[in-house]
Chain A
Amino acid sequence: MMRMLNILPVLVAATFLLAAPARGQEGISWLDNYQQALNEAKKTGKPIFLEYRCEA
């Protein structure tokens, strides 16, 4: 479990980087429903970035 915790700083940093407010973008809006993501991708033509995260 301790090793899993090593990843957290990376994730936090990644979230900030990817949100990239300094580049004039808004924060990331994460969906939590796969079907909703497919629908949104169909509607917008965007690709999907899907994260599986084991929170156990």
Chain B
Amino acid sequence: MQQYVCVRIPRMDDVNIALFEYDRYNTLYFFVMNADEQIYMRYGGRDAESPDTYLNLESIELALTKGLELHGQYQRGELKPKPLPTPRYPREIPLLVERTFARNNCVECHLIGDFQNQHRELDGTLDKPTHMFRSPDIKMLGIFLDVPKGLIVKEAKGAVEKAGLKAGDRIAALNGTTVWTFADLQYAYDMVPRKSAKIELTVDRQGQAVELPVDLPPVWWWSDVRYKQLSIDPRVYFESREMTAAEKKERSLDPEGFASMVTYVSSLAATLKSHELKVGDVVVGVDGAQRDEYARTADGFIRLRKKAGDPVKLDVLREGKRFEMPLTTYKMSFRK
């Protein structure tokens, strides 16, 4: 570490968010870079399961060692500088200024993402698959990494297995973008347009570069976004889980439907008179819809397909009875 200048930034007030663009729902995120603001690599990233799934001492040491090597190449002129993006700062996000700077509140990382999304909602450019489902999970493609070894593949399943990825391969690039760390890979994957049907992985297999065109599975970008639930309206004050095929069969429900079991109800549901769901209820439909191309649960369907303030009707199963229940969605409090 003595070979690095180490800097820790806990507040985002004056950060160039165009240069340091990343999913703001990461609790920790690192960049390895140089004095010319050339970024060699990222380190960090997470999945829905845990913020530290991909963080460990071995992989950070690998990244830092590689960073020194890349820095040497840059100093010798062997790495071409990349053009820098036009700088952009949190103070250029009007709602962030109004709701945070003006109140002398801390500019928390996730607030930048939240308010950027709010502006997108206002100007009609919000695309939920892109902006709500940031940092898609590489496991959706079937990539399982040997995490302490960086981007060495431990197991390949599904789409990548079909494409020819093998255990022991090192993922070297995605769609031509070089990747050195999980964070690099996740960021490059996040940059893939959500309507894409194919990506190109380059792997290092025993010193040979091998190109692997991967057919993306349907809804490849989907991930469990509940840990970043602040990001996109509306709020529904309950959580549910996808029912198993056996559970659906037992209750004679559409096997392809988003019938889901309520697992959590916020106390705010009663306070705000949002709905009267109870844990254990099964929501089999929302406004007559029982299946969706993207959503796997009822709360997921509402968050994807409805706007804050929309009243919806739930089709609910409770103790063998099926009935309709109104639900009112809400905006997040910081957006009011």
A and B: partners?
yes
**B-contacting residues of A (Cβ < 8 Å)?**
3-4, 6-7, 10-11, 13-14, 17-20, 25-26, 28-34, 36-42, 44-56
**In the bound complex, how far is the Cα of B3 from the Cα of A41, in angstroms?**
10
* Number of A-B residue pairs at CB separation under 8 A: 143
B31 part of interface (Cβ distance < 8 Å): yes
* B177 at the binding interface (Cβ < 8 Å): no
In the complex, A32→B10 CA distance in Å?
A: 8
CA distance A44 to B71 in the complex (A): 13
| Chain A residues within 8 Å of B30, by CB | 49-52
Q: Is B332 an interface residue when CB atoms closer than 8 A count as contact?
A: no
Q: Contact: B7 with A54, CB < 8 Å? A: no
Known contacts A38-B35, A48-B33, A49-B64; A30 and B10 CB within 8 A of each other: no
Report the interface size class on chain B. 35 or more
A7 touches B52 (CB 8 A): yes
Q: Can you give 18 A-B contacts (C-beta < 8 A)?
A: A6-B50, A7-B55, A10-B57, A18-B64, A28-B1, A32-B9, A37-B5, A44-B5, A47-B33, A48-B32, A49-B1, A50-B8, A50-B9, A50-B32, A52-B15, A52-B22, A53-B9, A56-B109
Residues of B contacting A11 in the complex (Cβ-Cβ under 8 angstroms): 28
Chain B 100-133 near chain A by CB (<8 Å), digits 1 or 0: 0000001011100000000000000000000000
Q: What is B's interface to A at a CB cutoff of 8 Å?
A: 1-10, 12, 14-15, 20, 22, 24, 26-35, 37, 40, 50-52, 55-57, 60-61, 64, 67-68, 70-71, 75, 106, 108-110, 227
Is B27 a contact of A40 with CB atoms below 8 Å?
no
B75 touches A50 (CB 8 A): no
Residues of chain A contacted by B12 (CB below 8 angstroms): 52
